[in-house]
Amino acid sequence: MDPVLIAPGLTLTTALYETAAAGVDAYAADRAPLSWEQFTAPMSWWLIPDGSGRLSKSELTLTEGRDRTVKINFWHAPDIRGTDGPLPHSHPWPFESRILAGGYSEDRYLLLVDDQVHAETGREHRQGSANTVDRDLYHEVTELHSAPGATVTLMLCGRGEHGTWGYLDPATGTLTPPQRDALFPERLRALNPHR
């Protein structure tokens, strides 16, 4: 199978397909088998920008619903959202991230009583491992262990609650809901000319 260019920054190869398909077979059997046609369908992919508009990750959603979402992620950059220090985020659903290729380092933060924050930095997740993240955990992916686009994860998300995520200031314990980024739709369109 020849490489398929989905958009600038995302070229799909046989090796990436085989990695993703093996992960779906092993951890999301009800979504298996992942076909080459499904994997290379341009309209199935979203390239996600960071706050500066650069490619952060590519996502292929296999199923999406309130009770369960399954997606394949190719990581192009760490998920660091703060500009003056850590700005860890939570998620509206609990999830398990299966590391199918490559790996990453993550910093985790838990808000304790009296706005105290417990930090665990430098936690490593390598190929073959699983990273479990509950809704009350705040985290940042701080480093990729492979070239951009070569860290591949399969996210298995549980029941979501719309609007129940946000950011934690580790220095103060202050929680902040996400703010609408007026430039995000423009950045998203710029990375996704195929959609």
In a domain, 13, yes or no: yes
In a domain, 163, yes or no: yes
Give how far Cα 135 sits from Cα of 111, 132, 142, 144, 157, Å: 12, 10, 19, 23, 10
In a domain, 184, yes or no: no
In a domain, 24, yes or no: yes
Total tally of structural domains belonging to the chain = 1
Q: pLDDT truncated to tens, each residue of the chain (195 aa)?
A: 789 999 999 999 999 999 999 999 999 999 999 999 999 999 999 999 998 999 999 999 999 998 999 999 999 999 988 777 889 999 999 999 999 999 999 999 998 888 889 999 999 999 999 999 999 999 999 999 999 999 999 999 999 887 789 999 999 999 999 888 899 999 999 999 999
Q: Taking the CA atoms of 121, 49, 155 and 169 in sequence, report the sign of the dihedral they define.
A: positive
Q: Give me the domain span that covers residue 22.
A: 4-179
By DSSP bridging, strand 69-75 and strand 95-101 are: unpaired
What global pTM score does this model have? 0.94
Give the CATH number for residue 116: 2.60.120.10
